[in-house]
Structure 1
Amino acid sequence: MSLTLYTNPMSRGRMVRWALEEIGQPYEAEIIHYGPPMKTPAYLAINPMGKVPALRHGDVIITETPAIIAYLADTFPAARLAPPPGSPLRGSYYRWLFFGAGPFETAVLNHNLGVIIPPERAGMAGYGSFEAVMNVTEAAVSKSPYILGEEFSAADIYLGAQIGFGLRFDSIAKRPAFEAYWDRLKHRPACLRAAGIDDKLLATHP
């Protein structure tokens, strides 16, 4: 079955392209511009939210970046992007993949939008505080080369790409542990290929 990525070079679609490069399967990419092109009936039939990325795999359509990455990891197990079912690492894999999609992403977004959560209502935020999320993340990426230990996984793609983005655009502090972790990830051949493709596309699809 064919793989088609609907993306924009300045979007979370960069994470999905990285995952696609990691699995090593042929795929096509359709660039969707922001604004009206994302709201056409044709594209809304693919993603009713009118946003990118989205992935079509044969007749299957997947939206939401962590869901797409998890789908690719499970659908193409030869790439070893996820611990197999039954592995004791499976729980940690899910934990950190969705930690990146939940507490980390929400805390960083709120922090950079200037959203202030009163301490007495921190429990309602779901992540506590920005500082707590950063501390937990720092501890997690400091213990071993990758989030699950010695083995790279799709959880590193999602959480790592967000850390790399945060370091590049100063949306998170440049803690040494974050920089060391991202340095290990950004030199992976698949990451370099994906970044090269999207960076080149920025020149023609700004």
Structure 2
Amino acid sequence: MSDELVFYTNPQSRGRIIRWMLEEVGAPYRTEIVDYGTTMKDTAYRAINPMGKVPAIVHGGKIVTECAAICAYLAETFPDAGLAPQPAERADYYRWLFFAAGPVEQAVTNNWAKFEATAEQGRMFGYGSFDQAVSVLEQAVSAHPYIAGDRFTAADVYVGSQVGWGTMFGTLPKRDAFLAYHERLTARPAYRRAAEADDALIAAAA
């Protein structure tokens, strides 16, 4: 079985999160660009991700989808990159990685869709309310330089991407804590390499 790492993405998608993670990891990978209108919905790609969405990776014949899961998988699979949590970081690492992938994602998308839960509905939702989820996220990124402590980890790739996109596109408020956190992350060489690679793909397709 091949140990090749194949990355399925579109440069105008959440695949940018995983491109950044792959650049942080430093392992060789092959990129397959999937088009929204054609290849993303065809039978061959749906065999990889039945949701017909990117990103996805195939490594050693195994498929991983969902950005948070891919980040965690790559951190554990390539430990020499130092992106998996150390024992003292595990609680915050997993807590905030999955908080961003769950409650924050739900709160942001529902708010963007202008769905406002009643107080009764809010008791059933994992995020309670948009304002509550945003305030908790703000506290999380303010507690330490990075989401799990004083050291950059794979959780910062995911949480930082959520914060960066949210403040850029207006789905999150531009609070000082969010902007300062994202500024620390975008200074990383791997972030810049990933952004340049995806921006070049967008320019070439224009």
Short-chain TM bin: over 0.9
Shift of 1:105: 1.0
Matched with 1:202 is 202
Query: In the aligned structure 1, how far is the partner of 2:84 from the partner of 2:100?
Result: 15
Q: Which amino acid aligns with 1:192?
A: R
Query: In the aligned structure 2, how far is the partner of 1:139 from the partner of 1:41?
Result: 43
Q: Does 1:43 align with 2:45?
A: yes
Q: Does 1:16 align with 2:22?
A: no
Counterpart secondary structure, 1:68 = helix
Counterpart secondary structure, 2:64 = strand
Query: In the aligned structure 1, how far is the partner of 2:142 from the partner of 2:88?
Result: 20
Matched with 1:173 is 173
Query: In the aligned structure 1, how far is the partner of 2:205 from the partner of 2:15?
Result: 14
Shift of 1:35: 2.2
Residue 83 of structure 1: which of 82, 85, 92 is its match? 85
- 1:104 and 1:133 in contact (8 A); partners too: yes
Shift of 1:201: 1.0
Q: Does 1:95 align with 2:95?
A: yes
Residue 52 of structure 1: which of 41, 51, 54 is its match? 54
1:1-206 matches, cutoff 5 A: 1-84=3-86, 87-205=87-205
Per-residue CA deviations over 1:152-203 (Å, capped at 9, x if unaligned) read: 1111110100110011111111000000000000110000100111111112
- 1:4 and 1:56 in contact (8 A); partners too: yes
In the superposition, the TM-score normalised over structure 2's length comes to 0.96
- 1:9 and 1:205 in contact (8 A); partners too: no
Structure 2 unaligned residues grouped into runs of 5+: none
Query: In the aligned structure 2, how far is the partner of 1:199 from the partner of 1:18?
Result: 12
Structure 1 unaligned residues grouped into runs of 5+: none
Query: In the aligned structure 2, how far is the partner of 1:98 from the partner of 1:204?
Result: 35
Counterpart secondary structure, 1:127 = coil
- Give percent identity, aligned residues only: 55
Q: Which amino acid aligns with 1:39?
A: K
Query: In the aligned structure 2, how far is the partner of 1:38 from the partner of 1:205?
Result: 16
Counterpart secondary structure, 2:88 = coil
Counterpart secondary structure, 2:27 = coil
Query: In the aligned structure 1, how far is the partner of 2:80 from the partner of 2:43?
Result: 36
4+ aligned runs moved over 2 Å, structure 1 = none
Query: In the aligned structure 2, how far is the partner of 1:174 from the partner of 1:19?
Result: 24
